Amino acid sequence: MLRINKDVEHALISLVEMSREKRIYSARELSDHFQIPFEILSKTLQRLAGRELIASIQGPRGGYILKRSISDITLYEVLNAIHDSVSVVPCIGGSMICRQEENCNIKEGIEKVQSEFDRYFHSLTLESFVKIDEHGKNSQVRIHDDLKGTIGENN
C-alpha cells in the first residue's frame, strides 16, 4: 500500500544527506545526527542498499555511500525500496488476492489513479526535496509542496 511513512522519511533524509558530500556515512552517524533510532535506520539503509540506491561498505570504517546522484533517483524508487510495492490499493500491486476482482466496479478507476501516481512519483527526483543554499550546496531536506496533504502518514 502506498504511503509516505517514517521509514520513507528516514530514507529520504539519509539519501539527501549522503548527497551533500561524496564519502562513507555510518548508520550510527546518520542515526545520531538526525535522532533516528539506530535499529530502525539500519534496516532502512539495508533496504536501500538491497535496491542498489546506496552501496554498503564493509569493515571497521564501513558504512554507506550514495551510488547515484539524487537527480537520478526518483521518489518511486525510494518508495519501492521501502515498501516493496508502490500501489494505491493492495490488489493492484499484486500483494493480495481480491475477492471482488470478478465483480469489481472500480478497478478501471483505481488503475487510472495508480497510473497517475506512478507517473508522478517517477517524475519526482530526490533533487526536488533539497533546498540549495547560496553556495550551491544542499542545505536541508524539504517536503515537495505538491506532496503536502496528498498522502497520509501512517506512522
HSE-up (13 A, CA, CB side) for residue 137 = 7
Instruction: Identify the residue whose cell numbers are 533516528.
Output: 36
Q: Lowest-pLDDT range, 63-67, 70-74, 144-148?
A: 144-148
The cell numbers describing 151, all together, are 498522502
Domains of the chain and CATH, by start = 6-84+125-146 (1.10.10.10)
Does residue 142 have a pLDDT over 50?
A: no
Instruction: Identify the residue whose cell numbers are 546506496.
Output: 54
Instruction: Record the pTM.
Output: 0.78
Does residue 77 have a pLDDT over 50?
A: yes
Predicted local confidence at residue 88, as pLDDT: 81
Does residue 148 have a pLDDT over 50?
A: no
Is-contact 66 18, C-beta < 8 A?
yes
Mean pLDDT of the region 128-143? 58
Q: What is the pLDDT of residues 83-124, one digit of tens each?
A: 877 888 877 766 667 788 788 898 899 889 999 999 999 999
What's at 7, amino acid-wise? Answer: D
Instruction: Identify the residue whose cell numbers are 524539504.
Output: 142
For residues 132 and 141, what is the distance between their CA atoms, to the nearest angstrom?
A: 9
Mean pLDDT of the region 58-64? 93
Q: Which of 122, 40, 123, 44 is nearest to 18 (CA)?
A: 44
The cell numbers describing 92, all together, are 493492484
pLDDT bin (cut points 50, 70, 90) of residue 132 is low
